[in-house]
């Protein structure tokens, strides 16, 4: 029996066999395994907690600080300024000496008035003695009635002259006292308008210095007339309305005062009504002439839902926030923001107290994204 010869494989068959063998190897190496997708990215964010707290309802405006009182100090008598006893911009107290005018002319005038008074008192004494003497003589018919009447007239004139001299002495004493000019109120002195050595006029239109009382101060501002009814309601009930004011360049230094003036008419041109608030201003944060940010508290929402304002985002369908769910994924939830106060937004609809919202890192988020909460001061995770 003859053995069969081995089959010959052509070049094409050899290539097909190699491809089939390679496919089998690849299939064997990948058999039973599923292809893994790309790993989901974790986005680092900071969060804040939705809270329930009392939030005042406010009306904001730009206000202007005014001194509580302003006094332009002028001289009541003329003369040369001999002394200036304060510095420009100094705090002065009522009664402090500010200026001294040359006293010598007024001392001389006072001395003359007193001398005239002494002379006329002596004459009045002589006239009264003559009056009594003529009264006795006319009773004895030693003098005529006409002479006695003349003595009476001379005595009355002498007494009147004494009264005029006494008034002249008082005037001279007042003029002398006016040579010392004291602060009529406590406050902050302005710049000198006249220095020592200058001659001042009595009751000149140009003051020597202007003093502004800065403790307390007024802040004048205007609010829309739509707030008038609520303001009048508070005033009628005897409840003071709280007003806060802070410099526009430093809102952290806030002063608290009370509404003290409501104008008697609405400005028909602007549709606003003018108000004034009084501030104790203990640290002199508010300065006359300064423009400040004013907030008038009309009422308080005792149970408002608030979130940090940086958590609220704007989208095509309105405002929304990213809410962090317990599994650390986020949900884009639409919200209705009623108003904003400082760093907080009052949410009327869409959130519940205790929920966590993203306050930083929203740009890399999309609904369903997984987040990693970074610690941040003032926020809870």
3-state DSSP assignment of residue 10: coil
The pLDDT of 219-241, averaged and rounded, is 86
Q: What is the per-residue pLDDT for 7?
A: 44
Cis peptide before 20 (omega within 30 of 0): no
Write out pLDDT tens, residues 93-150.
Answer: 999 999 999 999 999 999 999 999 999 999 999 999 999 998 888 888 888 889 888 9
Q: Is the pLDDT of residue 26 over 60?
A: no
In this predicted model, which residue has the larger pLDDT, 380 or 270? 270
Distance CA 102, CA 81 (A): 6
Q: Give SS3 for 353.
A: coil
Rounded average pLDDT over 152-167: 94
pTM check: above 0.85: no
Average pLDDT, the chain: 86
Q: What is the mean pLDDT of residues 174-180?
A: 95
Q: What would the pLDDT profile of 263-304 be if each residue is shown by its tens digit?
A: 999 999 999 999 999 999 998 889 999 999 999 888 788 889
Structure confidence at residue 55 as a pLDDT band (50, 70, 90) = confident
pLDDT for the residue numbered 2: 44
- Number of helices (H) and strands (E) in the chain: give both, helices first: 4, 20
What are the φ and ψ backbone dihedral angles of 174, each rounded to 5 degrees?
A: -65, -45
For residue 218, what are the β-bridge partners? 66, 278
% pLDDT > 90, the chain: 60
Distance (Å, whole) CA 155 – CA 123: 9
Residue 340, token pair as written in the block:
């904003």
pLDDT grade, residue 379 (50/70/90)?
Answer: very low
The most confident of 7-21, 188-202, 347-361, by mean pLDDT:
347-361
19's enclosing H/E stretch is helix 11-30
The whole-number pLDDT of residue 317 equals 87
Asked whether residue 211 carries a pLDDT value surpassing 70, the answer given is yes
Question: Above 80 in pLDDT, residue 10?
Answer: no
Q: What is the pLDDT of residue 205?
A: 86
Angle between helices 145-177 and 104-139 (to 10 degrees): 160
Between CA 119 and CA 113 the distance in angstroms is 10
Q: pLDDT band for position 377 (50/70/90)?
A: low
On the question of pLDDT at 64 being above 60, the answer is yes
Residue 187's pLDDT is 93
Asked if 299 and 230 touch (Cβ cutoff 8 Å), the reply is: yes
What domains appear along the chain, each with residue ranges and CATH number? 45-56+303-373 (2.40.420.20), 59-68+213-300 (2.40.30.170), 75-101+179-206 (2.40.50.100), 103-178 (1.10.287)
Q: What is the pLDDT of residue 38?
A: 53
Q: Which of 169, 161, 153 is nearest to 123 (CA)?
A: 161
pLDDT (0 to 100) of residue 1:
42
Beta-sheet pairing, 242-247 with 313-315: unpaired
Q: Is residue 154 within 8 Å of 181, Cβ to Cβ?
A: no
Label the pairing between strands 97-101 and 330-334: unpaired
Per-residue tokens: 108: 């001389």
Mean pLDDT score, 307-312? 93
Confidence category of residue 252, pLDDT binned at 50, 70, 90: confident
- DSSP notation for 103-168: -HHHHHHHHHHHHHHHHHHHHHHHHHHHHHHHHHHHHTTSS-HHHHHHHHHHHHHHHHHHHHHHHH
**CA quadruple 310, 314, 317, 318: dihedral sign:** positive
Distance (Å, whole) CA 207 – CA 205:
6
Please, which residues bridge with residue 52 across strands? 305
């Amino acid at each position: 029996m003859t053995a069969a010869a081995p089959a010959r494989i052509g070049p094409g068959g050899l290539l097909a066999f190699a491809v089939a063998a390679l496919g089998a190897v690849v299939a064997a190496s990948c058999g039973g395994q599923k292809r893994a997708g790309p790993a989901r990215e974790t986005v680092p964010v900071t969060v804040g907690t939705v809270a329930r707290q009392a939030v005042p309802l406010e009306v904001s405006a730009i206000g202007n600080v005014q001194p509580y009182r302003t006094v332009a100090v002028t001289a009541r008598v003329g003369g040369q300024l001999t002394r200036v006893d304060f510095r420009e911009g100094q705090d002065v107290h009522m009664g402090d000496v500010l200026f001294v005018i040359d006293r010598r002319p007024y001392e001389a005038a006072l001395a003359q008035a007193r001398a005239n008074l002494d002379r006329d008192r002596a004459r009045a004494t002589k006239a009264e003695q003559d009056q009594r003497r003529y009264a006795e003589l006319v009773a004895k018919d030693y003098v005529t009635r006409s002479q006695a009447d003349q003595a009476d007239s001379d005595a009355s004139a002498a007494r009147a002259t004494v009264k005029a001299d006494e008034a002249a002495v008082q005037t001279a004493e007042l003029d002398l006292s006016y040579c010392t000019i004291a602060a009529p109120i406590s406050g902050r002195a302005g710049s000198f308008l006249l220095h020592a050595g200058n001659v001042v006029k009595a009751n000149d239109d140009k003051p020597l210095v202007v003093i502004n009382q800065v403790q307390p101060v007024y802040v004048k501002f205007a609010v829309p007339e739509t707030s008038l009814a609520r303001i009048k309601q508070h005033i009628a009930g005897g409840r003071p309305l709280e007003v806060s004011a802070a410099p526009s360049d430093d809102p952290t230094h806030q002063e608290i005062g009370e509404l003290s003036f409501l104008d008697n008419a609405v400005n028909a041109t602007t549709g606003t009504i003018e108000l004034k608030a009084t501030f104790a201003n203990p640290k002199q944060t508010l300065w006359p002439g300064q423009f400040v940010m004013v907030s008038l508290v009309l009422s308080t929402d005792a149970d408002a839902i608030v979130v940090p304002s940086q958590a609220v985002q704007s989208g095509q369908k309105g405002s929304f926030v990213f809410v962090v769910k317990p599994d650390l994924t986020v949900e884009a939830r639409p919200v209705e923001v009623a108003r904003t106060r400082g760093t907080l937004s009052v949410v009327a609809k869409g959130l519940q107290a205790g929920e966590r919202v993203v306050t930083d890192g929203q740009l890399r988020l999309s609904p369903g994204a997984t987040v990693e909460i970074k610690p941040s001061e003032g926020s809870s995770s």
